[in-house]
A and B are shown apart, each in its own frame.
Chain A
């Protein structure tokens, strides 16, 4: 089996049976990335030397028969907004082009403890603002299924890395769909955990009340395993959940879903939904019904306003979160300034991209005195209504099903000059972040043009176990997760 087709469990099996070593596997992935990433541009930086050293160390430990972690010897890619000690973490921004964090994000710490091998940092929309990975200050990432298309965003680099077979596992962050939408565009499994399940410490903040880190994998089982490795309360993040959480997802995936009540919100199936995607949803729903799930259409009414609420709240938080990049302590500093005000203004003007500036301005505006009540306060009210309407829905249903994206992967450059069109790409994903509930996107078919289509399962708070179970059952029935894109070398 070639590395690009391997799932985490295949690699683990290989290690157990001594078919290959971690160093061989790591080298293979790195070789493949070097060979093909010229046409994909999934990575901002590769971590070759350290990755090989880590692989060697894991090999030594496995050889001695030592107890190793959940992800021992698994090469992984990490979105470049998650801090890695001693490794550049740029947020795909000129502002942090040379920023080397002196600390690991809690997730990175946990991944290292679990034995994972970081092979590189992936491209993204600058500061995670965007839905196509075109807003990177460095380069646009291409969709491995069709390199004229975007991979989705903002975690497009991580999605492309797994889809292209540069790593079996990558991590991204999801503020309004930034894991699920690229997972959908790249034919992968992508999970946004419940807000608070995974520590945000070391994730460079965009919308603090919405951000969560989650995995991209080829299969639901790999997703379950990865979540086990990164989840849990963290004393460095007081918004991380202190209650009891499920520890085991993998072992219980195979339970059947007979009697599972699945709600179909009709607002997610209205005008604007690509008919091919609608058809793929219908097919999957039939499969689920055949498996014994009970499907029912219902109304989740305030969803039309979710997008506005999302852009107000996320931009407000972003305008404050990104204020620290002032050229004083770290990051980009302008060469020409006189006095402190110019230093700050010029540094920010020169180093932030267009979309980032747009969000900072929007966020500053909605928080300004005189506008606060009309925008931010209203959005917060909407937020509590959206939360309520999800809570109500989960009284009747175990899970909600929807498309992940209303549209198929679009052409590179197509929506770049039309931010509103770009924002609409998130219409099915943002409300989930606003409510703080978990959601998973899994591949459920292909368009006629052979572009992947993603289906989203939404669960109640901390119901990841059930979510993964449903996703696993559908995945097994559909059996499309073995299809791979064909890459060209440049």
Chain B
């Protein structure tokens, strides 16, 4: 029997607002514990939520970027459960009337493209963080993240392999970043993913018992966890032990490299959803919708088309550039500093990418200032330095933040392109190498190479080789006559 894997994802994305969803506390990451809290987000008695309008704007943008229908009337509900990181003991979320529904993302899989449908996107507030001390029998709680706005994106079970799931996530992340909806930093938790996975016989349409996997903190972990669970379930089917697959939530343990049961269906919460009485339904007016949609920044596909058209960069290189928004932004920043687009694309997709293997630019930024790279490109293009010297300076710039001019100066790499100066030096070299001239006259053209080498040596390698070559050829011709 041949089986296929069915995967659906639930993705939580923190929206890039300055303040929280229901109060004016900042959403800054990395503040000291409980610094960004107030009576509202810590659920003090008597406090009430007030919806941050920017949250609605961003969710509408997300929905539009993911080709969803925007539900002009949507509402909030309470999801009730006890947990110390949830100060009100309910999460304000959206249950039966989410802000967006029925969207899709086209994901490139090799040569082909596959449409992954999105069931819904709803708004909710994030919970706090528990801190378990290592050697003390207590836990602490930090409410800084409580009330940070989230959207939850739920896909249809359209994905057929762990690889597809990751390809979808990468595309989704890129779209959300381009639309400036979220910074999507998985390691900081601003993009989190839970996966539902089941197996079925190819050719059937049934949806078998699925397992939910939580705690997937990077694309790599998503891939590993899904592959592991896929293998576990396939084996059970293969040996007709599939009844052992229970509807349950399993937690991915990255260190152990396996999923562990978290809670069974019976243990799952009854969230007792009901309409949030403290908030009125959200009515999205025509004007509001129009403004939000008009202000969506350029999405990846549009940007690709524009860069090709406007700058004539090769499609293969543009694919690399737009694959990571920070890289495309950097490319255009370098251009705005006056660099030649073709040269800039070459430097970034070849030299920079080589360096970026070890650097996460979404975390640390590009290690070379855009105006420095633009300057470096100019220095090479105008012949002020050789290409080889350029590479050396490039590598140096990754390590230090000195300007290319300063490095040229420091390392004495500037190239002599001044013809009269080079002519003088060449004449000097020729006068000391009469034997070579003789050889040349006797029909040994390789003598030119020797003389050129001597000239370069005399200039400590700083001479522009092209010009030196021209000068020497000219002079030798004269000697011949």
Residues in chain A within 8 A of chain B (CB atoms) = 81-83, 89, 91, 96, 99, 101-103, 105, 200-205, 207-209, 235-239, 316-317, 319-320, 323-324, 326, 328-330, 340, 344, 364, 367-369, 372, 376
Q: Mark B53-89, 1 if CB is under 8 A from A, else 0.
A: 0000000000000000000000000101010100111
Complex Cα–Cα for A99 and B272 (A): 28
Lowest 3 A-B CB distances belong to which pairs?
A323-B89, A209-B277, A367-B272
> B270 to chain A: which residues have CB within 8 Å?
368-369
Bound complex: CA A258 to CA B350 (Å):
91
* Minimum CB–CB distance for A163 against chain B, Å: 26
Known contacts being A317-B277, A320-B274, A323-B90, is A238 close to B82, with CB within 8 Å? no
Given A83-B45, A101-B45, A102-B44: A324 in contact with B87 (beta carbons within 8 A)? yes
B48 to chain A: closest CB distance in Å? 5
Cα distance A372–B91 in the bound complex, in angstroms:
19
Q: Which secondary structure characterizes the binding site on chain B?
A: loop
Asked if A238 and B272 make an inter-chain contact with CB atoms under 8 angstroms apart, the answer reads no
| Chain A residues, CB < 8 A from B476 | none
With contacts A103-B39, A239-B280 taken as known, whether A344 is within 8 angstroms of B82 at the C-beta atoms is yes
B202 interfacial by beta-carbon distance below 8 Å: no
B51 → chain A, closest Cβ, in Å? 7
Residues in A whose Cβ lies below 8 Å from that of B42: 329
Question: Known: A208-B278, A320-B78. Contact between A326 and B45, CB under 8 A?
Answer: no
Contact (A326, B90) CB under 8 Å given A101-B46, A239-B280: no
Q: How many residues of B contact A (CB 8 A)?
A: 29
Given contacts A236-B50, A238-B51, A324-B89, contact A208 B45 (CB under 8 A): no
- With an 8 A cutoff between CB atoms, is B342 at the interface? no
Chain B 249-288 interface residues, beta-carbon cutoff 8 Å to A: 270, 272-274, 277-280
> Per a CB cutoff under 8 Å, which of B39, B50, B80 touches A238?
B50
**B residues in contact with A101, CB < 8 Å:** 39, 44-46
User: How far, in Å, is A363 (CB) from chain B's closest CB?
Assistant: 9
Number of A-B contacts (CB under 8 A): 98
B contact residues around A238 at 8 Å (CB): 48-51, 278-280
Q: Is the interface of A mostly helix, strand, loop or mixed?
A: loop
* Bound: A376/B88 CA distance, A: 21
Minimum distance in angstroms from B90 CB to a CB of chain A: 5
Contact yes or no, A201 B47, CB < 8 A: yes
How many Å from the CB of A96 to the closest CB on chain B?
7
Q: Is the CB of B46 within 8 A of A204?
A: yes
Give A83's nearest chain B residue, CB to CB: B46
Contact B274 A329 (CB under 8 A): no
Residues in chain A near residue B44, CB distance under 8 A: 101-103, 330
List residues of chain B with CB within 8 A of the CB of A328.
84, 87, 141
User: Which residues from A are CB-within-8-Å of B273?
Assistant: 367
User: What residues of chain B have their CB less than 8 Å away from a CB belonging to chain A?
Assistant: 39, 42-51, 78, 80, 82, 84, 87-90, 139, 141, 270, 272-274, 277-280
Q: Which of B43, B48, B51 has the most CB of A within 10 A?
A: B48
Q: How far is the CB of B462 from chain A (nearest CB, A)?
A: 69
Identify which of A102, A207, A326, A372 contacts B82 (C-beta below 8 A).
A326
What are the residues of chain A within 8 A of B89 when measuring CB–CB? 320, 323-324, 326
A180 to chain B, nearest CB (A): 21
- Measured CB to CB, the nearest residue on chain A to B78 is A320
A454 to B405 CA separation, bound complex (whole angstroms): 91
- Minimum CB–CB distance for A384 against chain B, Å: 13
Beta-carbon contact of B272 and A201 below 8 Å? no
Closest-CB distance, A406 to chain B (whole angstroms): 28
With a CB–CB cut-off of 8 A, which chain B residues contact A317?
Answer: 274, 277
A83 to B90, CA, bound (A): 21
* Minimum distance in angstroms from A48 CB to a CB of chain B: 24
Q: Are B272 and A368 in contact (CB under 8 A)?
A: yes
User: How long is the Cα–Cα vector from A323 to B90 in the complex, in angstroms?
Assistant: 8
The residue on B at minimum CB distance from A234 is: B48
- Residues of chain B lying within 8 A (CB to CB) of residue A105: 46
Is A329 a contact of B87 with CB atoms below 8 Å? yes
Supply 15 A–B pairs (Cβ within 8 Å), ascending by A: A99-B45, A101-B39, A101-B44, A205-B278, A207-B277, A209-B277, A235-B50, A317-B277, A319-B272, A320-B80, A324-B89, A326-B82, A328-B87, A329-B42, A367-B80
Since A323-B80, A329-B87 are in contact, a sample of 11 more A-B pairs with Cβ atoms closer than 8 Å, ordered by chain A residue number, is: A81-B46, A89-B45, A101-B46, A208-B277, A316-B274, A320-B272, A326-B84, A329-B43, A340-B84, A340-B139, A367-B274
Cα of A207 to Cα of B277 in the assembled complex, Å: 9
Residues of A within 8 A of B274 (CB): 316-317, 320, 367, 372, 376
A203 to B46, CA, bound (A): 5
Q: What is the minimal beta-carbon distance from A155 to any residue of chain B, in angstroms? A: 16
A202 to B46, CA, bound (A): 4
Residue of B nearest to A105 (CB): B46
Closest residue of chain A to B45 (Cβ to Cβ) is: A204
* CB-nearest residue of chain B to A127: B45
A96 near B280: Cβ-Cβ < 8 Å: no
Residue of A nearest to B90 (CB): A320
Cβ contact within 8 Å between B278 and A239: yes
Nearest-neighbor residue (CB-CB) of B272 within chain A: A367
Most chain B C-beta atoms within 10 Å of own C-beta, residue among A200, A203, A323, A368: A323
The minimal Cβ–Cβ distance linking B193 to chain A, given in whole angstroms, is 26
Bound Cα distance A99, B47 (Å): 14
CB distance from A131 to the nearest CB of B (A): 22
Q: Knowing A238-B278, A238-B279, A239-B280, say if A324 contacts B46 (CB, 8 Å).
A: no
Complex Cα spacing A81 to B45, Å: 9
Residues of B within 8 A of A324 (CB): 43, 45, 87-89
